[in-house]
Amino acid sequence: MTTIKSWTTGLFGLACTVFGIWLRLQARDLAWPIEWSYSGPREDTIWAILEEAYQDVSLAIVVFGLLLILLVLAHWLWTPSLNSKEERQA
Protein backbone atom coordinates (compact mmCIF):
# COMPACT_ATOMS: atom_id res chain seq x y z
CA MET A 1 0.00 0.00 0.00
CA THR A 2 1.42 3.33 -0.98
CA THR A 3 0.82 6.48 0.98
CA ILE A 4 1.43 10.14 0.35
CA LYS A 5 4.55 9.91 2.52
CA SER A 6 5.94 7.06 0.40
CA TRP A 7 5.24 8.94 -2.83
CA THR A 8 6.79 12.13 -1.45
CA THR A 9 9.89 10.30 -0.26
CA GLY A 10 10.24 8.47 -3.56
CA LEU A 11 9.89 11.66 -5.58
CA PHE A 12 12.38 13.44 -3.32
CA GLY A 13 14.83 10.56 -3.83
CA LEU A 14 14.32 10.77 -7.58
CA ALA A 15 14.84 14.55 -7.52
CA CYS A 16 18.04 14.15 -5.48
CA THR A 17 19.34 11.55 -7.89
CA VAL A 18 18.60 13.68 -10.95
CA PHE A 19 20.11 16.78 -9.32
CA GLY A 20 23.23 14.84 -8.32
CA ILE A 21 23.70 13.54 -11.85
CA TRP A 22 23.19 17.04 -13.27
CA LEU A 23 25.71 18.48 -10.79
CA ARG A 24 28.24 15.81 -11.71
CA LEU A 25 27.86 16.58 -15.41
CA GLN A 26 28.03 20.36 -14.89
CA ALA A 27 30.87 20.38 -12.32
CA ARG A 28 33.46 21.66 -14.77
CA ASP A 29 31.22 24.41 -16.14
CA LEU A 30 30.27 25.54 -12.64
CA ALA A 31 33.81 25.56 -11.26
CA TRP A 32 35.86 27.03 -14.08
CA PRO A 33 35.48 30.63 -15.26
CA ILE A 34 34.31 31.25 -18.82
CA GLU A 35 37.66 32.64 -19.93
CA TRP A 36 40.74 31.42 -18.16
CA SER A 37 44.37 30.86 -18.88
CA TYR A 38 46.89 29.26 -16.61
CA SER A 39 50.34 28.13 -17.61
CA GLY A 40 50.93 25.69 -14.76
CA PRO A 41 49.45 22.27 -14.10
CA ARG A 42 45.68 22.24 -14.03
CA GLU A 43 45.55 20.39 -10.68
CA ASP A 44 47.15 23.33 -8.86
CA THR A 45 44.32 25.77 -9.52
CA ILE A 46 41.48 26.62 -7.17
CA TRP A 47 39.08 25.83 -10.01
CA ALA A 48 40.26 22.23 -10.24
CA ILE A 49 39.85 21.85 -6.49
CA LEU A 50 36.35 23.33 -6.70
CA GLU A 51 35.47 21.02 -9.61
CA GLU A 52 36.53 18.01 -7.58
CA ALA A 53 34.49 19.24 -4.62
CA TYR A 54 31.40 19.55 -6.85
CA GLN A 55 31.97 16.00 -8.08
CA ASP A 56 32.30 14.65 -4.54
CA VAL A 57 29.15 16.43 -3.36
CA SER A 58 27.24 15.22 -6.40
CA LEU A 59 28.23 11.64 -5.68
CA ALA A 60 26.94 11.95 -2.10
CA ILE A 61 23.64 13.43 -3.36
CA VAL A 62 23.18 10.62 -5.90
CA VAL A 63 23.86 7.95 -3.27
CA PHE A 64 21.40 9.61 -0.87
CA GLY A 65 18.71 9.78 -3.57
CA LEU A 66 19.22 6.15 -4.58
CA LEU A 67 19.08 5.10 -0.92
CA LEU A 68 15.73 6.87 -0.50
CA ILE A 69 14.35 5.17 -3.61
CA LEU A 70 15.61 1.80 -2.38
CA LEU A 71 13.99 2.30 1.02
CA VAL A 72 10.65 3.22 -0.55
CA LEU A 73 10.78 0.17 -2.81
CA ALA A 74 11.69 -2.11 0.09
CA HIS A 75 8.83 -0.68 2.15
CA TRP A 76 6.44 -1.14 -0.76
CA LEU A 77 7.55 -4.76 -1.34
CA TRP A 78 7.32 -5.86 2.29
CA THR A 79 4.16 -4.04 3.30
CA PRO A 80 1.20 -6.40 3.07
CA SER A 81 -1.49 -5.25 0.69
CA LEU A 82 -5.02 -4.50 1.81
CA ASN A 83 -6.37 -7.54 -0.06
CA SER A 84 -4.08 -9.99 1.76
CA LYS A 85 -5.22 -8.58 5.13
CA GLU A 86 -8.85 -9.15 4.16
CA GLU A 87 -8.06 -12.70 3.03
CA ARG A 88 -6.39 -13.53 6.35
CA GLN A 89 -9.37 -12.30 8.35
CA ALA A 90 -11.89 -14.28 6.30
What residue spans define the domains of the chain? 4-30+42-80
pLDDT of residue 38: 65
Q: What is the pTM of this model?
A: 0.79
Q: 67: which residues sit within 8 A by CB, 6+ positions away?
A: 13
pLDDT of residue 1: 52
Give the pLDDT band of residue 35 (cuts 50, 70, 90): confident
CB-side neighbour CA atoms (13 Å) of 60: 6
CB-side neighbour CA atoms (13 Å) of 67: 7
